[in-house]
Structure 1
């Protein structure tokens, strides 16, 4: 990883973000759901480091809570979507035949569905908030990767070591796990890392529109939506949340691009 400056920069930025998000509430004098009834939309002070919201909540504490929610959603969506892509793609590519055609037909059907429209229609009916938002987002983020994994798995199916394992009577699941998936590790790692930023942006957009995380919980999207109307007079609630969102997406994107350079030198070479 040290061969790629972008990977190192992304990893350092992401580590700093995680340290701030998870360690910040420990040193903050206010909890994210606490209310100061003597300070509504107050400016930064020794008591409230970044001021307060219009409802009297500490901006520093509530924004770190929102960033943690967005990060956890992004990580969960990335893991689930990449896992589905790996499972469907490897099974289709290795098995071939009718199973391959059936799985790819299902993938093609999902690809042509407009994901934003489906999410907008389903999200208002999901009263569970973040726990149900994660599988909904993950359901529309794995199809392209599954097709790539399927093509690579089909090419690996005729490799000598795979044929040798099959001739020795090794079952298909074991061959996939021990001989196919390790060859796809670089693709899956990069895909998962880039999916984190995509999922965070998608969640923030839905939450901004009121279709994502529901009160009393918060995310970066809900905080940006709450603060943008008064951003000119009280910029701290909007600015801190928007700045953290940009920083998280930048860090994850740098890390993903750097990992692609390191794990797949043919994509552009290590830097």
Structure 2
């Protein structure tokens, strides 16, 4: 019953509906669009270098003759995948660290929060920029782990604060008196009651991770060749190239803006709909 009320409140937010439609449309474009294209992202047309959009190449071609439509959709696939994986890992890590620290307290709380505070003051961009170039080509999963490692600390402190209150609730005390193991109490009673916060955090982390990946890839610290992402495409098509051959920049940059915009609309709508103080 409660889930139906929450769903009705969420769907009553127009920004959520617009965001969902936009994200689904971009997902369909990214994963179904290549099926209708004339070229794969790895194919090269040696008769068309930096050709403008036309009948053969709908979005033009790159500097090395790749079809811009296929390459851009491949880049969006990679950026979306990285965004969702980073959000899943970072939100999950924040929930675990914050819940265990708040529930058990004592030395475990001090150790976990000390580690959290340490990561907060470390220059994450610099560390990723130093480590990422040393990864083997194609090891984008390690890049995901690096991004996620610096994306969970603030949320974990919020989770810890909420857990300090939840652990004194009657149902948690009753479960403890019944002899249920602490870890089961955390996963059955504490974390589910933090679901609203975690859902919103995960949604916002997706857009944050996509922007982070794009920024790092733009400077050459993210996705490595021969693979592509929106960041690498924007980097390749930026500068003076964007003026002479605008399609190399406009298509990946435009899709990035739309993707982040729609995800942020969903996040803002979820925050308003799931806010306990909201009266709408």
Shift in Å at residue 269 of structure 1?
5.2
Structure 2 Cα separation of the partners of residues 3 and 93 of structure 1? 34
Give CA deviations for 1:243-271 in whole Å, capped at 9, x if unaligned.
Answer: 000011001101111111111142x554x
2:82 to 70, 73, 79: 73
Per the alignment, residue 242 of structure 2 pairs with 231
Structure 2 residue 63 is the aligned partner of structure 1 residue 54: yes
Per the alignment, residue 152 of structure 2 pairs with 142
CA separation of 1:36/1:269 partners in 2, compared to 1, >3 Å: closer, same or farther? farther
Per the alignment, residue 242 of structure 1 pairs with 253
Gaps of at least 5 residues in structure 2 are 1-9
Give the TM-score taking structure 2 as reference length.
Answer: 0.94
1:50 match: secondary structure: coil
Q: Is the 8 A contact 1:261 1:269 kept in 2?
A: no
Per the alignment, residue 199 of structure 2 pairs with 189
Per the alignment, residue 40 of structure 1 pairs with 49
Shift in Å at residue 107 of structure 1?
0.6
Structure 2 residue 104 is the aligned partner of structure 1 residue 95: yes
Q: Is the 8 A contact 1:77 1:199 kept in 2?
A: yes
Structure 2 residue 263 is the aligned partner of structure 1 residue 252: yes
* RMSD, aligned α-carbons: 1.0
2:244 match: secondary structure: coil
1:84 to 93, 100, 106: 93
Structure 2 Cα separation of the partners of residues 145 and 232 of structure 1? 41
Per the alignment, residue 226 of structure 2 pairs with 216
2:132 match: secondary structure: helix
Q: Could you list the runs of 4 or more consecutive aligned residues of structure 1 that deviate by over 2 angstroms after TM superposition?
A: none
Per the alignment, residue 18 of structure 2 pairs with 9
Gaps of at least 5 residues in structure 1 are none
Structure 2 Cα separation of the partners of residues 87 and 57 of structure 1? 44
Shift in Å at residue 129 of structure 1?
3.6
Structure 2 Cα separation of the partners of residues 218 and 116 of structure 1? 20
Structure 2 residue 109 is the aligned partner of structure 1 residue 109: no
Structure 2 Cα separation of the partners of residues 181 and 135 of structure 1? 23
Shift in Å at residue 123 of structure 1?
1.4
CA separation of 1:5/1:24 partners in 2, compared to 1, >3 Å: closer, same or farther? same
Give the TM-score taking structure 1 as reference length.
Answer: 0.97
Q: Give the alignment of 1:113-132 within 5 angstroms.
A: 113-127=122-136, 128-132=138-142
